[in-house]
Chain A
Amino acid sequence: MNQYDVIIIGGGITGVGTARDCALRGLKVLLLARGDLTAGATGRNHGLLHSGARYAVTDRDSAAECIRENKILRRIAAHCVEPTGGLFITLPEDDLSYQDNFIKCCIDAGIKAEAIDPKEALKMEPSVNPALIGAVKVPDASVDPFRLATANALDAKLHGAVILTYHEVVSFIKDKNWIVGVQARDTRTGKTEKYYAPLTVNAAGIWGQNIAGMAGCQIKMLPAKGSLLIFGHRVNNMVINRCRKPANADILVPGDVVCVIGTTSDKVPMEECDDIRVTGDEVQLLLKEGCLLSPSLAHTRILRAYAGVRPLVASDDDPTGRKTSRGIVLLDHDRRDGIPGFISITGGKLTSYRLMGEMATDLVCDKLGRRSRCRTAELPLPGSEKELFDSAKGLRIAEKAAIGRQGTMVSKMDFSHKSEILCECEHVTRAEIAYAAKYLDVHNMMDLRRRTRVGMGTCQGSFCMKKVAAALARELGCPERTEEFIREYIEERWKGMAPVCWGESLCEAEYMRKLYADKKE
């Protein structure tokens, strides 16, 4: 009982990507996530599938890695990727001579980069700053990190993996200095349980530092907070970048019906990583720089602000965290620290998650003496097995939306009985909620939001949260928790709204308070 081949710690994209790879190679996998899947940096970034162009000048290896993975993900995760293309624009205040070297470096790294006439760029992307004096087209794309992680977790489960969310590792079980298992606490029930495996993989992102410490070795992470703003409209169709040395707030990424400007980069203490909030200064900076990429952002409602912490592995004391290599770090703690049975996979980025999983799984298989080839670059993720949009003709918008989010898994949804739309902004039906509750490890409204986009639209849940909470509670068999679901959910929405509460957002906030605030009487 509770015996596995490998235990993976971390419910981010690296953890689920590694779990999928291990499961596909026939290993008996347990994944433990402290909270929900994608609750850390995976759910708090741009949603940018890098072409690698951003790193071409400063970090050729990362750039080459990005373009290879970019091409793979377009294939295996088609339902998570929108092939928008990207522009790197030069503004009058930038040095146009940067562009030539940029293109040369891109091509050198295998990235198709092509200078285009600024007028042409304006035609391709009408929202771009018309003052631009140079433009380069690159194969950037938009990726839904929630969807991508969900599909990886689902495929891992379909291949026998066990995924336990809300399970926090509290200690390692050692036999002499061998790590032979972990003790994890179910944070919802408080119960502690032991799980055994000859190998444990630390894929806990920034929190991997604490996990390593618990195991008795040291990884020095350099937590770099990145703040972003999400707008209520999609002003751009292509990813817009500044063609200059990477700096603050110089990428605007479209995604679904919204767009996201980011990011900032500031060193934060490890202790703050669990509850980071966006400051007023960051909002100002993001808006100012964002308007230089696309001036119409000045008149677009900001839905919310959020921040993530990049899992950078410290290599020097650079306070911006930008000089640190974005490269993948795979640590064999047996060799490095004399702790057999324990490895760490960290660093890297969303775009390279699959490769991180492959590298970690190669080492796992090597350690376990298993010979098995990695197939994650070939096998499509559940949802991306085939293109469904052709057969979607005649379907209702809500069903098409569900296909967009869940791909071929829509076949598991009961549209004939549960067709009513509960979240109108994102067209989420009761059928999709029921599906998520049954198959996607959903325990509360935030989990559901990450799986289905419920409440992510312009109303931020104001109109739908009661209906959705009631439906979810019913599907989970706990109708008495409806009120609790609503309270938790509002508090979480408020956190993102508070830093940008003016204009339309303040109107929305006032309305939300009128509907849901606890009355004093």
Chain B
Amino acid sequence: MKFDVIIIGGGLAGCTAGVALQEAGLRCAIVAEGLSLHECPREKFIELGGTIFPGDRVTGGHIVGRKVKWVETRNLDGTLLEADNFILATGKFFSRGLISNMNEIYEPVFGCDVKYDKNPAKWVSQSFNDSQPFEKFGVITDAVGQVSIQGNTVENLYAAGEILCGERDIVSSALDVAAQIVGR
């Protein structure tokens, strides 16, 4: 199956980007674990003709050169999802966009470069209401919102929303990425 853009993750960021891209005339598909679908933009996305694969999860992708060719999902039974561009909007830890163990933090779908403190003792502050370092960990993107894997930029893979490192606004990061893709 081929789309213009495949969005991985159907939270606020994924759905917002999806709506913006459909409005710009691109054909999008969102692969989202059921509960995370963001109600309001989701309805709009469907109204605009977007495709949703609900309750599904991207298990991996195929990268050739500096581009993602396709991704595969848990439920599509080997059917590959191809697209010109991909957006990673899987959120942070609770939504499994980032995975942690006692030594490291990684992004599970593509192994994108993640910014985090290498000392696990510094991930959490002592007091609940203090600013929490782990909330600023996330995938590293360049000026146009593209991610890198082991230092190499992946030209058609963008990241948006909570999965980003730093303190980015969810909606504006999603709209920025959508604008980049539309402008290409």
Contact = CB atoms under 8 A, between A and B. Distances in A.
Given A280-B121, A501-B123, A501-B134, A506 B128 contact: no
Interface in A466-521: 490-491, 493-495, 497-498, 501-503, 506-514, 516-518
A491 B128 contact: yes
Contact of B102 (A503, A516, A518): A503
A509 B124 CA distance: 9
Contacts of B128: 490-491, 493-494, 512-513, 516-517
Interface core residue of A493, A494, A498, A506 (most chain B CB under 10 Å): A506
Interface in B119-135: 120-121, 123-129, 132, 134-135
B93 interface: yes
Contacts, number: 60
A300 B138 CA distance: 25
B126 A498 contact: yes
Nearest to A283: B102
Given A501-B134, A513-B135, A506 B127 contact: no
A355 B91 CA distance: 56
Contact of A517 (B120, B121, B129): B129
Interface in B72-111: 92-94, 96, 99-102
A506 B135 contact: no
Contacts of A490: 128
Interface core residue of A280, A284, A287, A516 (most chain B CB under 10 Å): A280
B129 A502 contact: no
A510 B134 contact: yes
Given A491-B128, A498-B126, A507 B101 contact: no
Contacts of B94: 507-508, 510-511, 514
A323 to B, nearest CB: 31
B14 to A, nearest CB: 17
Chain B interface bracket (under 10, 10 to 19, 20 to 34, 35 or more):
20 to 34
B127 A510 contact: no
Given A491-B128, A502-B101, A510 B121 contact: no
B102 A510 contact: no
A495 B126 CA distance: 7
A510 B120 contact: no
Nearest to A489: B128
Contact of A509 (B99, B101, B127, B134): B134
Nearest to A518: B129
Contacts of A508: 94
A518 B93 CA distance: 20
Interface core residue of A491, A497, A501, A512 (most chain B CB under 10 Å): A501
Interface core residue of B92, B93, B101 (most chain A CB under 10 Å): B93
Interface core residue of B125, B129, B135 (most chain A CB under 10 Å): B129
B171 to A, nearest CB: 16
Given A280-B121, A507-B94, A494 B101 contact: no
Contacts of A514: 94
A502 B123 CA distance: 9
A491 B126 CA distance: 9
B78 to A, nearest CB: 29
Contacts of A506: 93, 100, 123-124, 134
A296 B135 CA distance: 29
Contact of A280 (B99, B101, B120, B126): B120
B27 to A, nearest CB: 33
A498 B129 contact: no
Contacts of A491: 127-129
Contact of A513 (B101, B121, B132): B132
A289 to B, nearest CB: 15
Interface of A: 277, 280, 283-284, 287, 490-491, 493-495, 497-498, 501-503, 506-514, 516-518
Interface of B: 92-94, 96, 99-102, 120-121, 123-129, 132, 134-135
9 contacts: A493-B128, A502-B102, A507-B93, A508-B94, A509-B134, A511-B94, A513-B135, A517-B128, A517-B129
